[in-house]
């Protein structure tokens, strides 16, 4: 699970590098900076996006079950509040507002705000600017918001269930895991916010529950490990079909992100990752331990470096497109690790920004 987690976050960083300069019409980033009629490198976004966040929520559900086996519900909620809610509230005020400023600068919203409020007092305009910057500063932390919201609901479900359903799920056969794609598709149609489309409450909560009830069992993972090809082959086929049929469309919004093909590819992609990593990725060494320790910092800090390069160097045309991609990757990985190493050593501040109560020893 640790290897799945940090490898997924590495994929998120690479995804955001390509996303920053996408030519597929997705709003928010710097946009297309090449003269290519078709940016074939954008295909990477289509390959990873359908399963990138789903696997994150499945793993979070598994981790929640493991944590609750040795901790009380009160301890779980407190831990989730510190790790998920604090960075999105206090962390937003003391650090992530920088990300908000860069995001707003990328979109050019600061210049247009005053024009959109003619005659408004300067104090009102400035207040609106501050609110917009703070809201934009949430950025990739939306996942932490959702995980925090899921935590009290999970505790309620656990109290009602009393582990009866969880014990039944221990016997889940491969064919049932295969057919779970049907209710997953149903969940993907529920609770999707209309404007900020990353908030998919029904979809992600159902996957979170699947992680908690089904995939937290060693017995289930052992079965999947033996039958990994049953998930890997459909995942590859669906992935190829998805890339061919949807390339050039907005994959992150309606109708693509609710389509049967999107959901099926995302689901079987997650199943392929779980089964293949259980079979081939169950190992630990100094590098994996190093990455796992810094994976959370890599996640919450990576987009600042990428978006800064896009805003201040690539979008104005100061650097070439190739340099933009390379520097964005360096800033995403290197900048995030550097920020983690610095902030993790500052008492109190690390708690507000990362929910880290004290610096953990290696």
| pLDDT tens per residue across span 123-153 | 877 788 889 899 999 999 999 999 999 999 9
pTM of the full structure: 0.93
Give the closest residue to 17 by CA, choosing from 341, 353, 324: 324
Structure tokens at 310: 């896009």
| Residue 114, pLDDT score | 63
Q: Does the structure show a pLDDT above 50 at 55?
A: yes
Exposed e or buried b per residue across 292-329, where buried means at least 16 C-beta atoms within 10 angstroms of its C-beta: bebbbbbbbbbbbbbbbbbbebbbeeebebeebbebbb
121 SS3 class: coil
| Crossing angle of the two packed helices 73-80 and 43-68, in degrees rounded to 10 | 150
CA distance 26 to 177: 33
Q: Does the structure show a pLDDT above 60 at 360?
A: no
Q: Does the structure show a pLDDT above 90 at 31?
A: no
CA distance 74 to 78: 6
| Residue 361, pLDDT score | 47
Q: Does the structure show a pLDDT above 70 at 23?
A: yes
CA distance 345 to 87: 16
Cis peptide leading into 213, omega within 30 of 0? no
156-211, pLDDT tens digit by residue?
999 999 999 999 999 999 999 999 999 999 999 999 998 888 999 999 999 999 99
Ranges of each domain in the chain = 2-354
Average pLDDT on 64-70 reads 96
236-253, pLDDT tens digit by residue?
999 999 999 999 999 998
| Residue 191, pLDDT score | 94
CA distance 320 to 248: 23
The chain-wide mean pLDDT, for the chain, equals 93
CA distances to 144, 212, 256, 300 from 151, rounded to whole Å, are: 11, 11, 29, 20
295-309, pLDDT tens digit by residue?
999 999 999 999 999
User: What sign does the dihedral 313-317-323-324 (CA atoms) show?
Assistant: positive
CB atoms within 10 A of CB 335: 20
């Amino acid at each position: 699970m640790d290897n799945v987690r940090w490898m997924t976050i590495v994929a998120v960083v690479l995804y955001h590098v390509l996303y920053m300069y996408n030519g597929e019409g997705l709003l928010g980033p710097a946009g297309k900076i090449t003269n290519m009629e078709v940016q074939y490198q954008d295909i990477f976004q289509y390959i990873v996006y359908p399963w990138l966040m789903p696997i994150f929520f499945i793993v979070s559900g598994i981790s929640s079950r493991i944590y609750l086996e040795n901790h009380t519900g009160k301890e779980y909620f407190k831990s989730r509040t510190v790790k998920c809610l604090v960075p999105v509230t206090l962390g937003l005020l003391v650090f992530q507002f920088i990300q908000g400023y860069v995001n707003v600068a990328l979109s050019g919203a600061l210049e247009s705000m005053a024009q959109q409020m003619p005659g408004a007092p300067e104090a009102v305009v400035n207040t609106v600017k501050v609110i917009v910057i703070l809201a934009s500063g949430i950025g990739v932390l939306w996942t932490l918001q959702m995980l925090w919201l899921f935590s009290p609901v999970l505790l309620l479900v656990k109290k009602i269930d009393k582990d009866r359903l969880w014990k039944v799920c221990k016997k889940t056969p491969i064919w049932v895991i295969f057919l779970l794609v049907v209710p997953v598709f149903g969940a993907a149609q529920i609770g999707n916010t209309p404007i900020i489309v990353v908030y998919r409450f029904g979809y992600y909560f159902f996957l979170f529950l699947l992680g908690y009830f089904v995939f937290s069992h060693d017995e289930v993972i052992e079965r999947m490990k033996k039958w990994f090809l049953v998930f890997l082959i459909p995942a590859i086929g669906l992935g190829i079909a998805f890339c061919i049929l949807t390339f050039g469309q907005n994959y992150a919004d309606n109708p693509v992100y609710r389509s049967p093909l999107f959901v099926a590819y995302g689901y079987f992609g997650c199943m392929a990752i779980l089964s293949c990593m259980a079979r081939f990725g169950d190992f630990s060494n100094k590098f994996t331990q190093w990455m796992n320790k810094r994976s959370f910092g890599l996640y919450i800090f990576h987009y600042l470096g990428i978006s800064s390069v896009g805003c201040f160097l690539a979008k104005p045309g100061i650097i070439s497109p190739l340099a933009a991609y390379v520097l964005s990757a360096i800033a995403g990985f290197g900048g995030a690790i550097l920020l983690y190493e610095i902030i993790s050593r500052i008492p109190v501040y690390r708690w507000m920004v990362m929910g880290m109560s004290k610096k953990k020893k290696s």
